[in-house]
Amino acid sequence: MNIGILLKEGPYNHQASDTAYNFAEAAIRRGHTIDAIFLYNDGVLNVSKLMDPPQDDRNISTRWTAFSEKYGVKIYACVVASKRRSINEDVLIEGGVITGLGTFTDIATRNDRLVTFGD
């Protein structure tokens, strides 16, 4: 089954990033394809490489980069939402792509499922 994920909250402030990540890993373990992760609202903050949490905590943006590299899944961030929140190509992690909502429409329509995580 092909699954798209919509992530609508920023990292750390809310559990949504963590749940989305754990869900995506479990879906892949069960043999499904994660087609893409699309970031909207404060979710776009997930792809900032300026993220620098304390050593004893997870680094959510590098975790997304590792996920992207391991499974070939792009982490898309909505361009309009990104501009509002200081996310641009200069601060973008590997695996992150800034794109328009047309990309999201494709993700929402071409997959068997869309699962949303947010506040």
Q: Which positions are catalytic? A: 78
Residue 72 corresponds to which tokens in the numbers above? 């070939």
Q: How far apart, in whole angstroms, are the C-alpha atoms of residue 92 and residue 107?
A: 21
Residue 9 CB, nearest distance to other proteins (Å)? 9
Residue 19 corresponds to which tokens in the numbers above? 């749940």
3-class SS string, 86-109: CCCHHHECCCEEEECHHHHHHHHH
Reduced to 3 states, what is the DSSP secondary structure of residue 115? Answer: strand
Residue 16 CB, nearest distance to other proteins (Å)? 8
Residue selected from 25, 33, 63, 97 as contacting other proteins according to rule CB under 8 A: 25
Binding mask 68-87 for other proteins (x = CB under 8 A): ------------xx------
Residues that bind other proteins (CB under 8 A): 1, 3, 6, 8, 15-16, 19, 22-23, 25-27, 29-30, 32, 40-41, 80-81, 100-102, 104-105, 108-109, 113-119
